[in-house]
Structure 1
Amino acid sequence: MDHYLKRLSMTNPMHLLAVGFGSGLAPKAPGTFGSLAALPLVVLLSWWLPLWGYLCFLVIGFGIGVYSCQVASRAMGIHDHGGIVWDEFIGMGITMIAVPISWPSALVGFVLFRLFDITKPWPIRWLDQHVKGGFGIMIDDVLAGIMAWIVQLILFSYL
């Protein structure tokens, strides 16, 4: 674990949420591990909640995420550390909005989200570079999720 992550307390609920319940503590590719850890939550929520409830979860999760990512970022003393992965949880949730859950759709959604999150095409890269704080940590993944969602809807509407 790097020295920035050691500044977090896993007994602090905001820190624990920011690191995706520990998935962001992976020594390599924490964003990928965070996205993978988000999938079971996304699947369960999409099965258990009506669409409006799922959307409410995402909106509330975004709001809490802005705060928790800001708290964790301040504690670490670095903006948008790779171990902060709650933004990946919300991004994956957005990617799967109203998408029929199956192994192919989960795999395609995961790959698309990671593709947009890693490559950061415009305007994602601009947001990542210019918007700071907890909102900045969250918003680029929200947009990556929206882009992945649109591509996924297009792909699955033709299959």
Structure 2
Amino acid sequence: MRWLASLGGVGYLRPAPGTWGSLAALPLAYGVHMVGGFWLLLALTVLAFGLGWLSVVKLTAEGHGKDPSWVVIDELVGQWIAVFPVSYGAMLMSVDLWRLWPGWIAGFVLFRLFDIWKPWIIGYIDRMGTPLGVMLDDVLAGILAALIAVVLAGISHGMLM
């Protein structure tokens, strides 16, 4: 469970283990997309959420604290959600994922911003202090990052002007 929750030890990197976890999630998302496209990325995100939740339940029951800093499986889930628009867009347009590189950067930066800042309901969920809260605040940060990245892409391409 420690291996899963720490993304193979990435969560033990210092400083800022959450940022390292988010960075590690990006090449993994790329690889998943290359193997099975957006739909595989979506399915594995759901699977990672479930396994992450179970691992956090087990680890907190073992006395590792409510939200150990080395647990970064939640960052993987949130970061993958933040790049859903990139993966989906590449699939729809039948283009290489790297042609949408601004979306990768926006997804990463926006996700980290919302995961650290924890505005509005994200902070409320984080303060629940439960294994579900550990996972769900990153899901919401990822959703918010994805939505804002879509708006920024629309503005950049002149579609929302």
DSSP 3-state at the match of 1:130: coil
User: How far, CA to CA, are the matches of 2:78 and 2:65 in structure 1?
Assistant: 21
**TM-score with structure 2 setting the length:** 0.84
Which residue of structure 1 lines up, in the alignment, with residue 7 of structure 2? 20
8 Å CA contact 1:92, 1:110 repeated in 2: yes
Q: How far apart, in 2, do the equivalents of 1:27 and 1:97 lie?
A: 27
CA offsets 1:8-55 (integer angstroms, 9 cap, x no match): xxxxxx210101111100131000011011110011112221332221
Which position in structure 2 is the counterpart of 1:153?
150
Gaps of 5+ in 1: 1-13
Aligned to 1:11: none
What is the aligned counterpart of 1:68 among 52, 55, 66? Answer: 55
> What is the CA-CA distance between 1:125 and the residue it aligns to?
0.3
Give 1:54's aligned residue: 41
Which residue pairs with 1:82 in the alignment?
69
Alignment TM-score, normalising by the size of structure 1? 0.85
Query: How far does residue 76 in structure 1 lie from its aligned partner after superposition?
Result: 4.6
Structure 1 residue 123 corresponds to structure 2 residue 121: yes
Cα 1:46–1:158 shift into 2, 3 Å: farther
Partner amino acid for 2:142?
G
Question: Which residue does 2:24 correspond to in 1?
Answer: 37
Question: What is the aligned-residue RMSD (CA, Å)?
Answer: 1.5
Q: Using the alignment, how far apart are the partners of 1:146 and 1:49 within structure 2? A: 21
In 2: Cα distance, 1:109 partner to 1:44 partner? 17
Aligned residues: 145
Identity value in percent: 41
The residue identity in structure 2 corresponding to 1:126 is Y
